[in-house]
Structure 1
Amino acid sequence: MEESTIVEKIVSRELPAAIVYESDAVIAFADHDPINFGHILIAPKKPYKTFLELPAEVFGEINEVAKDLYKRLEAKYSPDGIGFMQNNGTYPDFNALDHYHLHIFPRFKGDKYGWVTSEIGIQTVKSLRESIADL
């Protein structure tokens, strides 16, 4: 039997969490290691691992929750921006929870959260077109 994910343990109340939304299918709670206060994870209650596994109705609810939280984060924190991030891939390297989740978090100038690019560097439009030509 597969071990429960962290999200499933939060849903079953085996682990404590600061929950801001919960329905029959979706839960949203504060990230325990936040980029900034107000950093929330929105996840299905069932342990779908990737974006591709999500049923359309669950994906739709997650996006509706994200819209609502966006407004609530703006009202509470007056951030300079709002960030979204969602990772898929090999556990634990690219999805530490092994459970689909969408991050939403307030952004502030100087918050040190950033994008680190690979060593391929800035590309020409020609090379980018070639790289996606047969997508």
Structure 2
Amino acid sequence: MTTIVEKIINREIEAAIVFESEDVIAFADHDPINIGHILICPKKPYESFIDLPPSVNAEIQYVAKDLYSRIITKFNPDGISFIQNNGSCNELSHYHLHIFPRFNNDKFGWETSGIGMQTVEDLKATFADL
């Protein structure tokens, strides 16, 4: 099955591409959290973070740093967020790193699972054998 990212790479789907090299592509998210929301993806269909070869991961991080500066200059946000999902949380089945500007009161956020605040002792116990 061809991923949406592969279809963008093959120009089967139109996208606003902001960076492209032999191994990495970055383009505007079609359903942005905020204006300036970009996805950075390897061109090969690696599904998760753990699958990325070190050289591709390094280039993605380089592109993220460059785009960070460009987003700051163009959109003057109050901050920048990065999000990367794996497993069933990766709806594209193709590794992608979200980078997007944040603005005070932009209403972006997440809900926790309801576990609540944890004591340091509980956290130490939880992660003791990690």
1:39 maps to 37
SS at match of 1:104: strand
Query: Which residues in structure 2 correspond to 1:1-135 (within 5 Å)?
Result: 3-90=1-88, 94-135=89-130
TM-score (norm 2): 0.99
Distance 2:17 2:99 in 1: 14
SS at match of 2:129: coil
Distance 2:110 2:81 in 1: 12
SS at match of 2:82: strand
Distance 1:129 1:77 in 2: 40
Distance 1:70 1:97 in 2: 23
Q: How much does 1:115 deviate?
A: 2.3
Gaps of 5+ in 2: none
How many residues align? The count is 130
TM-score (norm 1): 0.95
Q: Tell me the percent identity.
A: 65
Q: How much does 1:69 deviate?
A: 0.2
Q: Which moved more, 1:99-108 or 1:110-119?
A: 110-119
- Provide the aligned C-alpha RMSD in A: 0.5
Q: How much does 1:111 deviate?
A: 0.5
Q: How much does 1:58 deviate?
A: 0.3
